[in-house]
Amino acid sequence: MAGRIAARSPLVRQPVAVFVLVATLFGFAAVFAIPPLRGADEPAHFLRAYGIAHGQVVPSLQDAQGRKGIFLPARLHDDYQFFETVRYRFGTADFNYRRVFADFLRRNNGPDERPPVFVLYAGSEGYAPMAYLPYVAGALIGRLIGLDFVPMLLLMRLLGLAATTALAAYAIAIVPYFKWTFLFIAMLPIALFERAIVCADGAALSLGLVVTALCLRAACGGGVAEPPWQRALWMTLCVVIKPSQIVFVVLEGMTRPFKELPRAWRSLGVIIPGVALTVAWLMVGSADMAAWRMVEGTGEPAEHFNIGWKLRFLLAQPQHFVNAALGSLGNLYELWREVIGGLGWRDTHLPLALYILLSATFVVTCLVRLDCNVSIRRRIAVFSWLAVLGYWAVIFLIFYLAWTPLDTQWIHGIQGRYFTIILPPAAVALAATLNYGLREGVTATIAVAGAVLSGIAMIDAVIRSQW
């Protein structure tokens, strides 16, 4: 019955239109509901985008300790520092952002003639500039028309929301079989939240959706696949945006039969630009992840967070990494919740029943039957699973090398929101393995209901906890 109802509905037959509608509705509300700098790492990402807008494409300004940062105009710094400070009061008695904004509007700013203030990036200096293009546009417009901090941040959020929503909509439009699955993934509470703040993860997930869609389209064939140069362009953007995204190049393997892979020169042309640019950026930026924070926090020598030194240590004592990785797997419950919706600074959560329901909805929307022969389906499954497992390994390795002290039982810095990005290949892997499908109308109804529930749950959690 649900399938017949869905099939009759013109709206439900248009996944792109449905996605744009719900993503815009809830995303626009989230942009204004989420208080300034209350998204995880949003202060650092705001500074990085602002720095790029002022010519610091490759961060070069440093303080006396060699820590990289950017100069903010004094008035802008006053507002930025106000919200950066008050966020640490979250969870204390009688704290809410209604009072915060009342205090913000009552305070007195200093004179505009003061010199600019140097502010540390604190982790965003290592990100490639492609992750920030919409936010840079917002910062440039804000400077041009003289916006203060809060309206500038909101403008940057709105432009980022528009760009990342458009990318996700494009992925839904071109992907075969998984339109409703992709719609639901892109509307998960954490996915919607990250598109509504200034950060790199919203673009990372959207580009992951696009690359997965393009590779699956090429694998399924039927004369609908785009030319390799188009996959190369999107693959490069996806990979360069974050080093962990380099695993998405594995998906290119599904586009050709196994026996053709050794001589698949066109596939090399798809993956080499992204890999080369990622390596080049890491060399230019010295793979800087602000390790000084870990040095100050742990008291260990700085060399323990130097990637070159840590690699040599890893080769000499690989068991240390294995033990730390196994220790991190003991935190799977928290990682699972954060994959679905660990909001704010990992301090705003949904009810447990919602995590279970949304997880079940994800699995159900993955029940898609692929209309292709066994060999193609097997190839899709193999390379999708390799991408998923490889992504876990790369995330663990990156944070082990750059963030983890030697005196530890787990890998530091790992958060569940990083793994939301690998859900598109995970959905494809699961579907290709099971190859069992529900009626499209049923899948569409469940996906749309889950998307709306996700949007409501995210907005409700933000308002209840922050305001």
- For 79-83, 173-177, 192-196, 264-268, which range has the lowest pLDDT when averaged over its residues? 264-268
Mean pLDDT, the chain, as a whole number? 89
Residue 361 · residue 183 · CB < 8 Å: no
Task: Write out the two tokens for 202.
Answer: 């919203």
- Residue 309, Cβ density class (10 Å: 0-12 exposed, 13-18 middle, ≥19 buried): middle
Q: What gap in Å lies between CA 122 and CA 44, rounded to an integer? A: 6
Q: What pLDDT was estimated at residue 364?
A: 96
Output phi, psi for 120, to 5 deg: -75, 145
Does residue 3 surpass a pLDDT of 50? no
Does residue 93 surpass a pLDDT of 50? yes
Structural element, H or E, at residue 117: strand 117-120
Determine the average pLDDT of the residues in 338-361: 94
Q: At what angle do helices 423-434 and 201-220 cross, to 10 degrees?
A: 30
Output phi, psi for 70, to 5 deg: -145, 150
Does residue 331 surpass a pLDDT of 90? no
Q: What gap in Å lies between CA 342 and CA 344, rounded to an integer? A: 7
Residue 389 · residue 429 · CB < 8 Å: no
For residue 408, what is the DSSP state? -
Confidence tier at 7 by pLDDT (50, 70, 90): very low
Give the percent of the chain with pLDDT over 90: 63
Q: Kindly list the domain boundaries of the chain, sorted by start residue.
A: 2-466
Does residue 434 surpass a pLDDT of 60? yes
- For 1-15, 266-280, 281-295, 404-418, which range has the lowest pLDDT when averaged over its residues? 1-15
Q: What pLDDT was estimated at residue 194?
A: 96
Confidence tier at 11 by pLDDT (50, 70, 90): low
Concatenating the DSSP letter of every residue in 220-239 gives H-TT-PPPHHHHHHHHHHHH
- For 39-43, 89-93, 132-136, 255-259, which range has the lowest pLDDT when averaged over its residues? 255-259
Task: Write out the two tokens for 457.
Answer: 């749950």
Determine the average pLDDT of the residues in 127-150: 93
Angle at 258 between CA 254 and CA 261, to 5 degrees: 85
For residue 68, what is the DSSP state? B
Q: Which residues contact 371 (CB under 8 A, 6 or more apart)?
A: 177, 220
Residue 370 · residue 432 · CB < 8 Å: yes
* Cβ atoms within 10 Å, residue 358: 22
Determine the average pLDDT of the residues in 284-303: 70
Q: What pLDDT was estimated at residue 1?
A: 39
| Distance of alpha carbon 189 from the chain centroid | 12
Does residue 400 surpass a pLDDT of 50? yes
- Side-chain half-sphere exposure of 35, counting CA atoms within 13 A: 29
Does residue 5 surpass a pLDDT of 70? no
Output phi, psi for 439, to 5 deg: -65, 145
pTM of the predicted model as reported, rounded to 2 decimal places: 0.92
Q: What gap in Å lies between CA 308 and CA 310, rounded to an integer? A: 5
Angle at 383 between CA 378 and CA 387, to 5 degrees: 145
Task: Write out the two tokens for 21.
Answer: 């509608």
